[in-house]
Amino acid sequence: MILSSCIREVQLTSISNSINNNEYNLSRYITLAVEGQIDQVSELVDSYINEGKTVKDILLKMFMPSLVNIGELWKKGLLNIAEEHLAVTVTLSQIERLTQSLVPNGEIIGTAAICTPVGEKHFIGPKVVSELMRISGWNVHFLGTEMPTDDLILFLGEKEIDLLVLSITLEENLPGVLEIITAVKGMDKSVVTMLGGSGIVGIDENLLSGVDIISKDVSSAIIEASRLVSSTTLNGNLEDYLSFIGDKVKRTRILKGWNQQKLADESGLDRTYISSVENGKQNLTLGVLLRIGNAFGIDIQTLINRE
């Protein structure tokens, strides 16, 4: 019994020494989570809340790095599968405990669907992102893991979705992502796509050219998505707005020496659709503005700016 206790103490010391701490005591958090000490984990988390740390900060700077460290410890053989699952489950319970009573302030920015492709089983990263987006003002549909492409496209077609967020932790699951992206781009409606997760590190960005937002940093990616969606909402009469955008698109096209077919080809839209946009007769989604802006080589803010 004493020998077993000593061995376990050595293991926990090895775990603690393998963790890079930041302003939060990650090594203590992870050690407690691996041991399943839920009450002590809650006390540690609450101590940071009492110090004035925000839930968003704890999600980004404590839970997310802890999850990365837990995965690395498992890869190094310092944690077995049961310990890794226990630590992840404890972390998930903390996320739910901190976020369940939070209500976003202000108007809803947009609606996002979040999932992983078939083959990608890791869900807690996307779950953290869904909670971050929710408290940042998004309406979120968290669809879980291993979402079949056909079912996802059906869902997107039936719902008013502004943003699709995909996540992978393993590069081998990239083909599933690319299949989804291709299917989304082939839809009659436009949905902005975002891809994140540790699985995209080191991937040739040319392979991800169809993705609208590549998220290497969760916080900045959410800000960028929020900015894009918010920038499409202008004060004033809708007719005037559509007319202004149509005129801006037409003038920009002419300045580039393009006809409507050229813009249609570059943006992946139909020529008659472009004509309707330029005549102010077509309602515009974030996805359409993004496609047209990308075709012109300008961002959405420039496209809709009245100055």
How far apart CA 154 and CA 157 sit, in angstroms, is 5
φ, ψ at 230 (rounded to 5°)? -65, -35
Q: How many CB atoms lie within 10 A of CB 189?
A: 12
Give, for all 307 residues of the chain, the pLDDT tens digit: 443 444 445 455 655 556 666 678 899 999 999 999 999 999 999 999 999 998 888 988 888 888 888 888 888 888 899 999 899 899 989 988 988 777 666 667 788 999 999 999 888 888 888 888 888 778 899 999 999 999 999 999 999 888 899 999 888 999 999 999 999 988 887 788 888 887 888 887 777 878 877 776 666 666 666 655 555 444 445 577 778 888 889 888 888 889 999 999 998 888 998 998 888 887 676 677 888 888 998 877 677 765 5
Strands (DSSP E) along the chain, which ranges? Answer: 111-117, 139-147, 163-167, 192-196, 213-215
**Complete domains list, the chain, with CATH:** 2-99 (1.10.1240.10), 111-230 (3.40.50.280), 238-304 (1.10.260.40)
